[in-house]
Amino acid sequence: MKKALDRFSEQAGTYKKFRPQYPVTLYREILRITPGRGFCWDCGTGNGQVAMELSHHFKEVYATDISEQQIAQAPILPNVKYRVVRAEATGFPDSYFDLITVAQAIHWFDIPYFYKEVRRVGKPGAILAVWGYGLMEVSPEINQLIYRFYNTVVGPYWDPERKYIEEKYDTIGFCLPDIKVTEGIRIEKSMDLSDLQGYLNSWSAVQHYIRNKGTNPVNDLLEQLRECWPDGTRKQVGFPVFIRAGSIVK
């Protein structure tokens, strides 16, 4: 099993404050294909965003992450239980969960070992749903600057696992037959430049760049953006969402 990768403990507070929230339409789609409402496992829960939403629909939600700092940011809820454990070795009972979710995190796991754990702890017919979101979209002019920043400025500082996001999880070797889900789901968020700054500072590649170079590349990008995105101006920002889902067969 490969070494566990923790890329977000250092900026856990920034991550919680500035990362986008998943839309209601995403949860409706996942619940639509999930037969049971007993127990759910949100793996790679981070600050508990997904666990909090699922707590409204399941008897109990178990939310796990390898980062104590991230889980410390999560809300305390009566039917959500947090654990600091690896995704690939949880200690949960066999055939226990009706739904297993992974939001923007499966690419950090040792994926074959994670799938083995999913088959073990999921009930027959349980759903595994994994999803992520692509690069933000604002306007052609702004998109061009952000794409250049993503690919050229901090591009060399992305971990190799980032490729799975770019490939929309088409190449993760999904372990279950795909269930068709609705396409075109998007995260929509109103942002100003300070929000954008916080969001970009939550990127693992930006943190790698800062540690390597000693300067923050986000500052230069903001200067470029001010010509088309003045301070104090809010813009509507979209993030395209992609989903893989399947039913566990034993």
Nearest to 142 by CA among 36, 226, 16, 244: 226
User: Residue 187 is encoded by which pair of tokens?
Assistant: 């995260």
DSSP 130-145: EEEE---B--HHHHHH
> CA-to-CA distance for 161 and 8, rounded, in angstroms?
14
Helix axes 218-225, 193-201, angle to 10 degrees: 150
Give pLDDT, residue 7.
53
The residue behind tokens 């595994």 is 128
DSSP 109-129: S-HHHHHHHHHHHEEEEEEEE
Give pLDDT, residue 250.
77
pLDDT tens sequence across 171-215: 999 999 999 999 999 999 999 999 999 999 999 999 999 999 999
User: Residue 227 is encoded by which pair of tokens?
Assistant: 């010509």
Share of the chain above pLDDT 90, in %: 91
Residue 5 — pLDDT band, cuts 50, 70, 90? low
Is the pTM here over 0.85, yes or no? Answer: yes
30-33 contact pairs (CB < 8 A, 24+)? 30/99, 30/101, 30/127, 30/129, 30/181, 30/243, 30/245, 31/57, 33/127, 33/129, 33/179, 33/181, 33/245, 33/247
Nearest to 102 by CA among 115, 91, 89, 92: 115
Mean pLDDT to the nearest integer, 228-237 = 96
User: Residue 241 is encoded by which pair of tokens?
Assistant: 């969402």
pLDDT tens sequence across 64-105: 999 999 999 999 999 999 999 999 999 999 999 999 999 999
> What are the distances in angstroms from CA 21 to CA 52, 137, 241?
11, 15, 11
Dihedral over alpha carbons 18, 20, 21, 22 (to 10 degrees): -160
Q: Taking a C-beta distance cutoff of 8 angstroms, is the pair 40, 61 a contact? A: yes
> CA-to-CA distance for 26 and 92, rounded, in angstroms?
26
> CA-to-CA distance for 214 and 158, rounded, in angstroms?
17
User: Residue 69 is encoded by which pair of tokens?
Assistant: 């700092």
